[in-house]
Amino acid sequence: MKYIVCEKPGEFILKEKEAPVRKAGEALLKINKVGICGTDLHAYSGNQAFFTYPRILGHELASEVLEIDENAKGIKAGDKVVVMPYVSCGECIACRNGKTNCCTNIRVLGVHADGGMQEQITVPANILLPANNLSNDQMAIVEPLAIGAHAIRRADIKAGETVVVVGCGPIGIGIMKLAQIAGAKVIALDMNEDRLKYAKENIGVDYVVNVSNDPVKQIEEITNGDLATAVFDASGNKFALEACPDYMAHGGRFVLVGLSKGELTYTHPKVHAKEMTLMCSRNATTEDFKHVISVLDQFPTESFITHSVPFTEMIANFDSWLKPETGVIKATVNFN
């Protein structure tokens, strides 16, 4: 079977190998579609934390079952399934407390272990969720939306709140829509006018703010001086991350969703005066995946997926997905 491997930063190679053989407790899957995310882009660029090469990328997967043992979820051969790509140990302190998303021994498909950029893959059967009601496009975006769902749940967003989401990439857009579904008003921040336009017209956010034009003043005007009760960073940009507390109301929450590799600096008196709650949001849990599947009909999947190519054309197109000027929001790779 064919697969694509990232041998080192900046280099993909199309190769062939024998199809995998399923072990007890595993499922053999046929991959139909793979979503490309920031993790894949950063891995290709050599800027991804927790990463080693060579690696088969791909953890946003639309798949169907070829082989599986009898199981409590009733999943059988021929079923479409969503893959939760986080393989947790079930034994560490995080797992024992229900936080499998930050397991101390976590292995994420496409990061710590080979992912789905291959025609077939074997995975633990317990990380599958039935998805016969979803299209391949919908299945391929469940995982990035689950990242947003987990962040919203971490912040305990309530109806009527005003939140700021920094970064109109795929994760940020997901946070925006899920915050709206939770009943919040949303202010989208970015420096890319096209993405701000998308957030306004396709996601329906209440306000858009270009960060190059005094964002604090604009947010103060929007909120009558209150600022936002919750601020989410989905950019991973050091300067954006360090500016986020300025957008946050006194008594507010700041949720770091985007990942930066470096150190961050905050002025203690400023954040202390606001009694800021700072929290990180990593990956997602079964609860988050199920929530996304239940509300996915409210998400504009068709406009969200802006680029889609056959598997054999992925390498030729990947560089263009690194460039915002191409208009890419979510790219996908088709195996059918």
Question: Does residue 47 carry a pLDDT above 80?
Answer: no
Is there a single domain that holds both residue 276 and residue 156?
A: yes
Residue range 115-133: mean pLDDT, rounded? 97
d(CA 187, CA 193): 14
Q: Which residue has the higher pLDDT, 140 or 324?
A: 140
At residue 325, the pLDDT reads 85
Per the domain annotation, does 255 fall within a domain?
A: yes
Is there a single domain that holds both residue 181 and residue 274?
A: yes
Is there a single domain that holds both residue 238 and residue 328?
A: no
Per the domain annotation, does 290 fall within a domain?
A: no
What is the extent of the structural domain holding 81? Answer: 2-132+300-334
d(CA 177, CA 186): 9
Q: Is the peptide bond before 300 cis (omega within 30 degrees of 0)?
A: no
At residue 218, the pLDDT reads 98
Question: Does residue 167 carry a pLDDT above 70?
Answer: yes
Per the domain annotation, does 23 fall within a domain?
A: yes
Is there a single domain that holds both residue 127 and residue 152?
A: no
Q: State the average pLDDT for the chain.
A: 96
Per the domain annotation, does 288 fall within a domain?
A: no
Where does residue 143 fall: left (phi above 0), alpha (psi -120 to 50 degrees), or beta otherwise?
alpha
d(CA 199, CA 189): 10
Question: Does residue 322 carry a pLDDT above 90?
Answer: no
Is there a single domain that holds both residue 82 and residue 187?
A: no
**pTM value?**
0.95
Looking at residue 165, which CATH number applies to its domain? 3.40.50.720
Least confident window among 19-23, 50-54, 294-298:
50-54
At residue 49, the pLDDT reads 67
Per the domain annotation, does 262 fall within a domain?
A: yes
Q: Where are the alpha helices (DSSP H) in the chain?
A: 38-45, 93-96, 136-155, 170-181, 193-198, 215-222, 238-243, 268-273, 286-295, 301-304, 314-318
Is there a single domain that holds both residue 155 and residue 214?
A: yes
Is there a single domain that holds both residue 46 and residue 111?
A: yes
Is there a single domain that holds both residue 161 and residue 68?
A: no
pLDDT band (50, 70, 90) for residue 307: very high
Instruction: Please give the tally of structural domains in the chain.
Output: 2
Is there a single domain that holds both residue 190 and residue 227?
A: yes
Residue range 212-221: mean pLDDT, rounded? 97
Is there a single domain that holds both residue 87 and residue 198?
A: no
Residue range 71-90: mean pLDDT, rounded? 97
At residue 303, the pLDDT reads 96
d(CA 51, CA 41): 12
d(CA 206, CA 189): 12
At residue 336, the pLDDT reads 79
Looking at residue 315, which CATH number applies to its domain? 3.90.180.10
The first and second tokens of residue 63, run together, are 């798949």
**CB atoms near residue 212 (< 10 Å):** 9
Residue 294's Cβ-count burial label (10 Å; 0-12, 13-18, 19+) is exposed
* Percent of the chain whose predicted confidence (pLDDT) is above 90: 93
Query: pLDDT (tens digit, 9 = 90+) per residue, 128-139?
Result: 999 999 999 999
- Tell me the three state secondary structure of residue 183: coil
Per the domain annotation, does 96 fall within a domain?
A: yes
Residue range 220-236: mean pLDDT, rounded? 97
Per the domain annotation, does 289 fall within a domain?
A: no
Per the domain annotation, does 143 fall within a domain?
A: no
Is there a single domain that holds both residue 182 and residue 58?
A: no
At residue 34, the pLDDT reads 98
Question: Does residue 50 carry a pLDDT above 80?
Answer: no
Q: Which residue has the tokens 């789905």?
A: 116
Is there a single domain that holds both residue 113 and residue 75?
A: yes
Own/partner long-range contacts of 98-104 (Cβ < 8 Å, ≥24 apart) = 98/285, 99/285, 100/285, 100/286, 101/150, 101/282, 101/283, 101/284, 101/285, 102/282, 102/283
